Every structure is written in structure tokens, then in C-alpha cells.
Amino acid sequence: MNKLLLLPLLVLILFSCSQKDELDSMNREESTHQALSNIKQAQKWQLVQMSGQIRNSVQKGADMPWQEHYVLNPDGSFSKVRQKGDETTAATGVYTYHSTAGEQYLELTYQSLNTIIGSCDAAGLKETLMVHKDGLQSSWWACDGPGLWYEQVK
């Protein structure tokens, strides 16, 4: 009899843990969505991870070939700064936040061409950052660029 009670109890525990994980994930995603859809003060988003097209080629922190961050301002403007060795490159522009049925993303439009624009179009002034529950991901990876992952600096 004890064995018969043990199985349903075990299933109940596993199911409730799974629901909690899904709820936590949804809350984190909603938190990121809220943070980006209604910016009230400047937000800094730091590059924390980079990956290439080769399997297991993830680099983090000081191991990355460059460091960079975005600052998103409440007025819809942004700046992007990249530090590569002794060279610092900066660019500015405006951003818009988009939310569709299945995804959220930031569309960045730069004021002028710059080498730090991570875009599939070499002559383009636009860059897209996909909003995920734990941060932002550049869409540059979709056209053989590096996979760039950003987290908000609190």
C-alpha cells in the first residue's frame, strides 16, 4: 500500500517543481520585457558572452576579443561603446522596442555607418537585439556573425 501512495506523491512533486520553474522563467522574461518597454532611467547592457560558428567556441569576460556595452536612455537614444585593446570605438543612435505575439526585440538605428554595427547588412544602419528572459542577444549570429549575449548591469 505504501508503494502505491509513493508513486502519485512522487509525480505530484515533480509536476509542481516543473510548474515553479516555468513560472520563474516567465517572471524573468516579463521582468526583462517590463524593463525594456518602459525605460525610466538609463540602462547599461554589458557584453558577457560571445560564440563563433565553431561548436563549443564560447568565450566569456576577459577571454573575449573585445568588450562592449550599450546604454539605453529613456528618451529613446542609445550609445554603444567597444573596447578592443587600446582602441575605443563609440556610436550613437535611436532605438525602438517592439513586441509581437511571439517575440520582443529592440531595433537600433545608428546615426552613421560604424564598424561596431553588428548587422547582416554591411552598409546598414540598423541592428536588432532579441529580448530573452535573461538578457539580450544580437541577431548578427543569424548571418555568420558572432553570437553576442548581453546582460543588464544593475
Query: Which domain range does residue 103 map to?
Result: 36-153
24-31 mean pLDDT? 51
118 lies in some domain: yes
In the chain, the number of structural domains is 1
- Alpha-carbon gap, residue 106 to 133, rounded angstroms: 14
Residue 74 or residue 14, greater confidence: 74
143 lies in some domain: yes
86 lies in some domain: yes
8 lies in some domain: no
DSSP H helical ranges for the chain: 2-37
6 lies in some domain: no
Mean confidence (pLDDT) of the chain = 83
56 lies in some domain: yes
* Cβ-contact 92, 78 below 8 angstroms: yes
Residue 11, pLDDT above cutoff 90: no
CATH code for the domain in which residue 137 is found: 2.40.128
pTM of the model: 0.76
pLDDT tens-digit profile of 33-45? 566 766 889 999 9
76 lies in some domain: yes
146 lies in some domain: yes
Q: Which amino acid is located at 139 in the chain?
A: S
pLDDT tens-digit profile of 48-59? 999 987 777 899
15 contacts: CB under 8 Å, gap ≥ 6 = none
